[in-house]
């Protein structure tokens, strides 16, 4: 049997779920992710195409999801009005070392193309199942320029429930989400050749993403 194109391994996964009467807390972390390009020899310097940056001992992904009631003690008044229920996501993505190999990209593209080639083509509707245009009152066919749009139903104004949940004009509950994402950008390595040591390294620094409501 031919060797696999790549191998993927994830370690040190943990998850903690806490359920309270008015809130829910979920904490998860993924310690390390290693992807190897198995078509290269084991002693090859670019066989590992994805891993944590050298010297990094933090978890690759740390995620905290919380549901907050309107009377939450950790309510940030400068980011969301008081009296509202909301959710928050705090995530930290540690820097990874990525190796860009055109050879791997080409083989992966061929593999993905083969998967799509195996899928059957979509079935066309027979002639008798094609939708027919609706006739006018006089029996003639309606054209797009003479059709009258249906009147839009009037929507109710948005309001806040006693529990602090925002209900939109369409009657659906609105999701209020606060984001705190810290990204330690990856170290990207572009080798001159898959078996050579000469390479271009790009360190993209760090990025923080936050939002207010």
The first and second tokens of residue 120, run together, are 């059957």
- What tens digit of pLDDT does each residue of 126-135 get? 555 455 555 5
User: Is residue 121 over pLDDT 80?
Assistant: no
Structure tokens at 38: 């198995």
Residue 129 lies in a domain: no
Q: What is the pTM of this model?
A: 0.56
Average pLDDT, stretch 120-131? Answer: 56
Answer yes or no: is 184 within a domain. yes
Neighbouring C-beta atoms of residue 186, cutoff 10 Å:
18
- What does the alpha-carbon distance between residue 111 and residue 202 come to, in Å, rounded to a whole number? 28
- The pairing of beta strand 61-68 with beta strand 24-37: antiparallel
Q: Is residue 123 part of a domain?
A: no
Q: Does residue 133 lie in a domain region?
A: no
- The Cβ of residue 93 has, within 10 Å, a number of other Cβ atoms equal to 19
Give the pLDDT confidence score for residue 175 in this predicted structure: 80
pLDDT tens-place string over residues 137-183: 555 555 544 555 555 555 556 677 877 777 877 777 788 889 998 88
Number of domains the chain contains: 1
What is the band of 2 on the pLDDT scale with cuts at 50, 70, 90? low
**Alpha-carbon distance 134 to 147, whole Å?**
10
What pLDDT score was predicted for residue 75?
Answer: 77
The Cα–Cα gap between 132 and 134 comes to 6
Structure tokens at 139: 């029996």
On the question of pLDDT at 115 being above 80, the answer is no
Q: How confident is the model at residue 65 (pLDDT cuts 50, 70, 90)?
A: very high
Q: What is the pLDDT of residue 1?
A: 56
User: Within the chain, where are the H helices?
Assistant: 102-118
Least confident of 43-57, 85-99, 157-171, 192-206: 157-171
What secondary structure does DSSP assign to 53-68, as a single string?
Answer: PTT--S-SEEEEEEEE
Contact present, 42 and 26 (Cβ < 8 Å):
no
Can you give the pLDDT at residue 27? 92
**Residues in contact with 59: Cβ distance below 8 Å, sequence separation at least 6, in sequence order:** 12, 29, 30, 31, 32, 92, 94
pLDDT at residue number 69:
82
Inform me whether the pLDDT recorded for 197 exceeds 80.
yes
Average pLDDT value over all residues in the chain: 78
Residue 80 belongs to some domain of the structure: yes
What was the pLDDT predicted at 96?
81
CB 91 within 8 A of CB 182: yes
pLDDT of residue 6: 86
Top pLDDT among 142 and 90 is at 90
Residue 126 lies in a domain: no
What is the distance between the alpha carbons of residues 32 and 93, in angstroms, rounded to a whole number?
11
Cα separation, 185 vs 192, in Å, equals: 22
Task: Give the CB-side neighbour count of residue 51, counting CA atoms within 13 A.
Answer: 14
Structural domain boundaries enclosing 201: 6-111+157-210
- 71 within some domain: yes
Instruction: Give the rounded percent of residues in the chain with a pLDDT score beyond 70.
Output: 78
Asked whether residue 188 is assigned to any structural domain, the reply reads yes
Long-range contacts of 70-78 (CB under 8 A, 24+ apart): 70/163, 70/164, 72/23, 76/178, 78/212
């Amino acid at each position: 049997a031919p060797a696999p194109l790549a191998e993927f391994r994830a370690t040190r996964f943990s998850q903690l779920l806490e359920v309270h009467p008015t809130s829910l807390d979920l904490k998860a972390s993924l310690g390390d992710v290693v992807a190897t390009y198995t078509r290269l020899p084991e002693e090859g310097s670019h066989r590992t195409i994805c891993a944590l940056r050298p010297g990094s001992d933090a978890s690759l992904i740390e995620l905290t999801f919380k549901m907050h009631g309107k009377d939450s003690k950790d309510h940030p008044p400068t980011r969301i009005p008081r009296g509202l229920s909301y959710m928050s996501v705090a995530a930290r993505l540690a820097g990874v070392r990525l190796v860009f190999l055109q050879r791997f990209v080409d083989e992966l593209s061929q593999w993905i193309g083969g998967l799509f080639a195996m899928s059957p083509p979509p079935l066309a509707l027979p002639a008798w199942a094609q939708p027919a245009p609706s006739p006018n009152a006089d029996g003639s066919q309606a054209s797009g320029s003479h059709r009258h749009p249906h009147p839009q139903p009037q929507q109710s104004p948005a309001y806040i429930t006693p529990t602090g949940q925002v209900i939109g004009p369409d009657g659906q509950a609105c999701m209020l989400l606060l984001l705190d994402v810290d990204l330690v950008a990856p170290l990207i390595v572009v080798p001159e050749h898959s078996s050579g040591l000469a390479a271009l390294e790009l360190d993209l620094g760090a990025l923080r993403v936050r939002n207010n409501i």
